[in-house]
Each structure stands twice: as structure tokens, then as C-alpha cells.
Amino acid sequence: MATALVCAAGLAVLGAPGVTYAAPVPTPDPTPSPSSSASAGAAGTAGDDDARRLETIHKEVEELYRKAETATDAYNAAGEQLRLQEKSIADLTRRLEASQKRLDTLRAQAGALARAQYRSGGFNRTQLFLSGSPDSFLGNVSLARKGEQATRRLLTDVTAAKAELERYTQDAGVRWKALDAEKKKREAAKKEIQERLDTAKQLESRLAAQEKERLRLLEEERARQAQDRWLSSDAAKQLTGRGSVAATGDAARAIDFATAQIGKDYVWGAEGPDTYDCSGLTLKAWAAAGRAIPRTSQEQWRQLPKVDVKDMRPGDLVIYFTDASHVGMYIGDGRIVHAPRPGRQVTITGAGSMPVLGVVRPG
């Protein structure tokens, strides 16, 4: 899934003792010499304007990527529903075929019975009462009852099979409509994603190489500040106060998979092996550990057991933003591994570098 631009902040190398951030751009000496005060003042004003412009661009790009990420979750969810609907329709088609065959067989049996009765002249009640002996009479009565019961059962089965076929046919129509609706949702989400990403890329493409680097450093500085604020929260203090907790079992396997993807590009809707979006990475990481989890970050938040931030342990998934549109995997020491956003790669960053919604535990 796509993420906010701020998700890319706080790049760190795997195995480092903590989160490492790029140093902010150095500020100029605040006490220039008198001879250069006029030119310095003009440069300072220009510098302030430039900084404000970059800050504005940063906010605009961040908002675009956030909206694209929300649309990516909708795109992934629609894709998941498409797969479920297609499987459901395939199952229903098999039931329709079986029901049709059963109805055809019953109709053939009913036809054979009708033809046999026609050839024999039907059931003759006069012959029944003129039976030569009581035993013969009772035997004919029993035989007649069995014949009538068999006929009624056959007709009942034919009626039931016909109703079942009609129900399956109606159900198939409903599911085809649902499938079509999911396809339209997916296409709409795809269009929205592309529009957001194209706009963000256009904004960034207008920047010179030096400005792009300054923008990247600005992102990292904002992420560092967010991480510092998060570390000062009571929940984070309790978490980090426990010291390092080693991952074990399935969680260790999931983390090993996720960290092995570091450096691979973010691509929205991707589930590997060469590219990932945020929930695609966590999905495949836990699949490598033998556990199936929901495809999207929103469904991961909705369906998986929730735990307090202070009780978080390696392997847990940290869900971000109020709409649960981003997810990363906690690896300990206040860090996560995640797939940030287009133009960025799978990386390690501070767990508090984005607004934390909550934490869920796959296993």
C-alpha cells in the first residue's frame, strides 16, 4: 500500500543499535560580519522563502501520498473481494451444473414412470377388489401404496430440484452483480491512486536535484521529531523500559522475511517477491511464518487481536493513521520495518515516526 511521504523517514541500516536519521541541513552563522549584513539579510529572506516553499511542497506531497495510500487499501480490498466473488461463482456454477443434472435425471425417471403406467393402462382398482384371496388383495394394496408413494416422492424431488436450480440461478445473478461492482470499485480506486501519484510526481519533478535532497532531509527531520515525541509518551516509555525483547518462533521467522526485503521498491498493490506495498509486505512476512492474515492494513486492524503499545513485542503489526491505511512490523528497540511509499524502498524507521493508531498481533 502507498503511504504518506512521512513514512519514508528515518532510514536506518539493519542491525544498528537504534534508528539513525540523516542530519538536518546546517543553519548559517546567525552573526554575520557588518560588511555582509545587507547581503546576508537578503539571502536570509530568500532562504526563509525557499524553506517555506519546500515545507509547503512537503505537506502537499505528503497529503497526496496519504490519499493514494487510502485508495490503495480500497484497491487491495476490492481485489480480495474479487477473488472471493470469483471463487464463490465458480462453486455456485458447479452446484448449478449438479442441480441441473439431478433435475434432468428426475424428469427422465418421471417420464419413464408415466410411459409405463400408460402402457399398463394405469392402476386398476377393480382388479384390486376382485383379487382371488385376502393375501393377494393385501399384497396388491401394499404394492399400490408403494407405487403411489414412489410417484409422490419423485414428483416432490422434481419440484425441489427445480426450486433449487432457480435459487442457484438467482444467486448467480446477484453474485455476478457484486463481482461487477467490485471490479468498478477497483478501477475507480486505481484511477484515484494514479491521479494522486501523478500529481505528487509532478510536484517533485519541478524541484532541482539539490532541492529534492533538502526535501528528503526535511522528511527525515519531521520523522525524527515525531519519533522523539512518541518515545516521550507513557506507553512508549513503558515499552522501551522493558529493554530489548528477542523475537522467537513464528514472529522471528516473519521478521527475518520482512528484513530480508529491505531495499526492494514500494509498488502499490504489490505482494512480492520483488516489490511490495505496506500490507503486502506484512502479509507475505507472516505467510512465510506459516500464518495467514488479512490482505489490507484496514482488515488487519479490524480482524487481528489488538494489544497495548506498552505490551508490543517483535512481530506485532503497528497500524498508522486514523483510517488504518498504513502498517509496519515491529522489530524491537522502538523500530519497525515497512514499505513506505512510491519512490522509496522497504526500510527500517522509528515506530513513532507516523501517527500510531494501534497495534495488532498475528500470532
- Options 190, 326, 335, 344, the catalytic residue: 326
Residue 154: HSE in the Cβ half-sphere, 13 Å Cα cutoff: 17
Is 58 labeled as catalytic in the residue annotation? no
The Cα angle at residue 152 between residues 150 and 156, in degrees rounded to 5: 115
Task: Please enumerate in sequence order all residues whose Cβ is within 8 A of that of 15, keeping only pairs 6 or more positions apart, or say none.
Answer: none
Q: What is the DSSP letter of 131?
A: -
Q: What is the DSSP letter of 345?
A: B
Task: Tell me how far apart the alpha carbons of residues 327 and 305 are, in angstroms, rounded to a whole number.
Answer: 15
Q: In what order do the strands lie in the sheet with 335-338?
A: 306-307, 356-360, 317-320, 326-332, 335-338, 347-350
Residue positions counted in the chain: 363
The answer to whether 315 touches 329, Cβ cutoff 8 Å, is yes
- Options 278, 318, 327, 336, the catalytic residue: 278
Q: Quick one: 318 exposed, middle or buried, by C-beta within 10 A (0-12, 13-18, 19+)?
A: buried
- Options 338, 340, 351, 354, the catalytic residue: 338
- Annotated catalytic sites, by residue? 278, 326, 338
